[in-house]
Chain A
Amino acid sequence: MQIYRLLEQKKAAIIERWCDLVIDTYPAEARDFFKQKKNRFSNPVGAQLHSQTAACLDLFLAEAPDEEAAACLKEVIQIRSVQEFSPAQAVGFVLYLKQAVRELLAGEIRTHALFIELLTVESRIDRLQLCAFDSYSRSRDKMHEIRTDELRRRSFMAMKRMTLFEDSEDTQEDT
């Protein structure tokens, strides 16, 4: 499809715009910081956002299965799942890709009448969005699991002794 060729040409700008839109969901005072992407340790949120949206778009344009492209966003979603966002805000950033594409390809889409192709691309973005929801849900489940695991570790000794007690009761029953 012609639209993929155009998207490929404007890939860098689309990623930049997409990231900017995502960063706009953070408080104004933090945006400049998140826009820096050079050090993945001093700015893990910004670095992950830039590298993962780029990886996602690469696969998307290579027409890889949507699940694979969406998997690239897993960590961005994981981060947003523990930030102060509602579930919709946390995962809704995937749809900003539509906005980036529409803004940056508006002229070409009109000139070459690529509306049908645009719809195909947007349907794929919708599927990315659904996959993102799965990732969000898994991430939240993981967090709750971690909560209970932590409680278990805190009472490790009590549990260990209880298990030993149960084991010895089993042994007695066996004999």
Chain B
Amino acid sequence: MSSSAEVKFKPEEIARIDYSPPSEHWTDPQIDFEAKRGNWCYSGVHKSLKYLDLPVPKTKFAPNDQDWGLPENWKEIILEGLRKRLDRFRSLKVFMDICVRCGACADKCHFFIGSGDPKNMPVMRAELLRSIYRKEYTTAGKIMGKMVGARDLTIDVLKEWYYYFYQCTECRRCSVFCPYGIDTAEITMLVRELLAEVGMSIDWIVTPVANSFRTGNHLGIQPHGVKDSLEFAADDFEEITGIKIDVPINKKGAEVLFIAPSADYFAEPHYYTLLGYFALFHEIGLDYTWSTYASEGGNFGLFHSHDMIKRLNAKTYAEAKRLGVKWILGGECGHMWRVYHQYMSTMQDEPSFLEVPKSPITGTVFDHARATKMVHLAEFTADLIRHGKIKLDPSRNDHWTPTYHDSCNPARAMGLLEEPRYILQNVCNNFVEMPENTIRENTFCCGSGAGLGTDENMEMRLRGGMPRGSAVRYVQENNDANILLCMCAIDKATLPALCDFWAPGVEVGGVHEMVGNALIMTGEPERKTDLRGQPLKGKEEVENE
């Protein structure tokens, strides 16, 4: 087989020169939204925008409409917004000036790998903003324009931003490869902030944000609904395991406030992870509580704007204070961890009313969580296992051959690489890894994060998820992997689609679902099924009798 270099320089191909200039220059934005259905998300509904006191477009628009109802002074708002942010964030200024277009990031984005659209290259996506920055804020750009990659801000540029910055999942895989450490996700975040200032947001972000702001969770479930769901799940748990458990809700004075993604108590396959939490907390006798007010782990504000992160984050700590807990334990959520580990200390004081988290079971002090007073459940459980505080029977997971997807935020933003693996090695016998360049810091995104996990952009999600899908398919074919585990609610919601398409037959689950299966609980009757109600290996006949 000849290499790509040989292919490029074959004599007959050198002779075949295409003299026609490209039909369009990259600086000329032309997005035909109608023709590109399946690749963009619907705009934010007015009700949600109003609820959040956000700018509302003059007319209701869908991206394929011509008129997006922008305010008269939209240009002024965007340029002033950009200027303010350049003054405020030195990082943004550096990111605008420092890129040398080396191309190291170009082929690292799952959307580019899946689509081949050059504007999905992180460098090009960032150029969509840089070109405006050059024109407005650099002398060379003002004088030489297109020659130095500068262009005027037009409505079509805004529409192009809307199209491409909502084709970025802020996963930061590109940043791992950038020799200058440019965080392309932050460029995406800032452009999304600018767009929101003229009323251009997507609905799968603003409505979850509005719901979180109103009821505490992105689905808009009211307190009695949260309570009802958790109690229903507790009954279900008893039916499956034979163990009756209490689910403490809004319990004042509990030691720990537990916050999980709301999907854990509402969606599938998240639900089985919820049952896993129940099993663990009951068995170790943790003095904890759920909250019907801080009933969402995920901070959807991260996908919208810095201010919105702050507004939603404040609720968690207000609730911790109200309930009088000592510290906070967080469930299997993804982007909540980027907020806590990378942004929270920039927007609020250290919550001094809380204590540095200390495991009541092992006595381990989680010093690294001193600033946030919040510990990830994987750290907590890995510590329990390390100290031999829970009894496990990994053979109860023998019907699974799990592989592990490093969800972008816990992995890249938090460095949580070893703990989930340590847990899985203790609760499963058949754990297999996907290929090296697709896991840990190099993990491939699900293609649906950062607010893109909706259904109108399914084509885009599926092709963006293909690099992950290919790796799953590989372990399915070579190692008989049959479940893809992860620690992120968005992953759990969207990876089933990806697996159904690229690796049919592979299920999706959570790490604590496996913990719940393997955990030997005091006084339990013989376990015949897993938390999904599926017969354990060797118990199939008993089930069928």
A42 lies within 8 A of B496 (CB): no
Instruction: Tell me whether B471 is interfacial, beta carbon within 8 Å.
Output: yes
Among residues of A, the one whose C-beta sits closest to the C-beta of B438 is A41
Among residues of A, the one whose C-beta sits closest to the C-beta of B461 is A82
Q: How far is the CA of A40 from the CA of B466 in the complex (A)?
A: 11
- Name the contact of B265 in the complex, choosing from A20, A35, A145, A157 (C-beta under 8 A): A157
- Name the contact of A36 in the complex, choosing from B4, B39, B437, B501 (C-beta under 8 A): B4
A163 CB, min distance to chain B CBs, angstroms = 12
Most buried by A among B107, B233, B271: B107
Instruction: Tell me whether A110 is interfacial, beta carbon within 8 Å.
Output: no
Instruction: Tell me whether A153 is interfacial, beta carbon within 8 Å.
Output: yes
Instruction: Tell me whether B25 is interfacial, beta carbon within 8 Å.
Output: no
Among residues of A, the one whose C-beta sits closest to the C-beta of B110 is A44
Q: How far is the CA of A43 from the CA of B113 in the complex (A)?
A: 6
B113 lies within 8 A of A42 (CB): yes
A45 lies within 8 A of B496 (CB): no
Instruction: Tell me whether B462 is interfacial, beta carbon within 8 Å.
Output: yes
A143 lies within 8 A of B459 (CB): yes
A147 lies within 8 A of B113 (CB): no
A143 lies within 8 A of B7 (CB): no
Q: List residues 116-159 of chain A with CB under 8 A from any CB of chain B.
A: 142-143, 145-147, 149-151, 153-158
B112 lies within 8 A of A30 (CB): yes
Q: How far is the CA of A43 from the CA of B444 in the complex (A)?
A: 12
A43 lies within 8 A of B267 (CB): no
**B232 surroundings in chain A (CB, below 8 A):** 157, 161
Instruction: Tell me whether A29 is interfacial, beta carbon within 8 Å.
Output: yes
Instruction: Tell me whether B195 is interfacial, beta carbon within 8 Å.
Output: no
Instruction: Tell me whether B114 is interfacial, beta carbon within 8 Å.
Output: yes
Among residues of A, the one whose C-beta sits closest to the C-beta of B494 is A150
A27 CB, min distance to chain B CBs, angstroms = 5
**B539 surroundings in chain A (CB, below 8 A):** none
B463 lies within 8 A of A153 (CB): no
- Name the contact of A82 in the complex, choosing from B268, B463, B493 (C-beta under 8 A): B463
A78 lies within 8 A of B470 (CB): no
**B467 surroundings in chain A (CB, below 8 A):** 41-42, 44
B458 lies within 8 A of A157 (CB): no
Q: How far is the CA of A161 from the CA of B229 in the complex (A)?
A: 9
B87 CB, min distance to chain A CBs, angstroms = 34
**B263 surroundings in chain A (CB, below 8 A):** 154
Interface string of B209-242 (1 = CB under 8 A from A): 0000000000000000000010011000000000
B8 lies within 8 A of A32 (CB): yes
B463 lies within 8 A of A149 (CB): no
A153 lies within 8 A of B268 (CB): yes
With A41-B437, A41-B474, A153-B268 known to touch, is A35 a contact of B7 (CB < 8 Å)? yes
Q: B115-123, B388-396, B406-414: which lies at the A interface?
A: B115-123
Instruction: Tell me whether B2 is interfacial, beta carbon within 8 Å.
Output: yes
Instruction: Tell me whether B500 is interfacial, beta carbon within 8 Å.
Output: yes
Instruction: Tell me whether A37 is interfacial, beta carbon within 8 Å.
Output: yes
Instruction: Tell me whether A83 is interfacial, beta carbon within 8 Å.
Output: yes
**A149 surroundings in chain B (CB, below 8 A):** 496-497, 500
Q: How far is the CA of A169 from the CA of B438 in the complex (A)?
A: 49
With A40-B470, A146-B497 known to touch, is A151 a contact of B455 (CB < 8 Å)? yes
- Name the contact of B496 in the complex, choosing from A27, A37, A44, A153 (C-beta under 8 A): A153
With A20-B7, A82-B462 known to touch, is A146 a contact of B269 (CB < 8 Å)? no
With A41-B474, A146-B458 known to touch, is A27 a contact of B117 (CB < 8 Å)? yes
Instruction: Tell me whether A115 is interfacial, beta carbon within 8 Å.
Output: no
Among residues of B, the one whose C-beta sits closest to the C-beta of A54 is B1
**A34 surroundings in chain B (CB, below 8 A):** 116
Among residues of B, the one whose C-beta sits closest to the C-beta of A27 is B118
Q: How far is the CA of A158 from the CA of B36 in the complex (A)?
A: 34
With A41-B474, A42-B113, A157-B229 known to touch, is A142 a contact of B39 (CB < 8 Å)? no
Among residues of A, the one whose C-beta sits closest to the C-beta of B463 is A82
- Name the contact of A41 in the complex, choosing from B435, B458, B501 (C-beta under 8 A): B435
Instruction: Tell me whether B422 is interfacial, beta carbon within 8 Å.
Output: no
A-B pairs with beta carbons under 8 Å apart, 10 shown: A29-B118, A33-B112, A33-B116, A41-B437, A44-B466, A44-B470, A79-B114, A82-B458, A149-B497, A157-B266
New contact pairs (17) apart from A44-B467, A145-B500, CB-CB < 8 Å: A12-B1, A12-B2, A29-B121, A33-B107, A33-B112, A37-B4, A39-B437, A41-B438, A45-B113, A82-B38, A82-B459, A83-B115, A83-B463, A150-B494, A151-B455, A156-B271, A157-B267
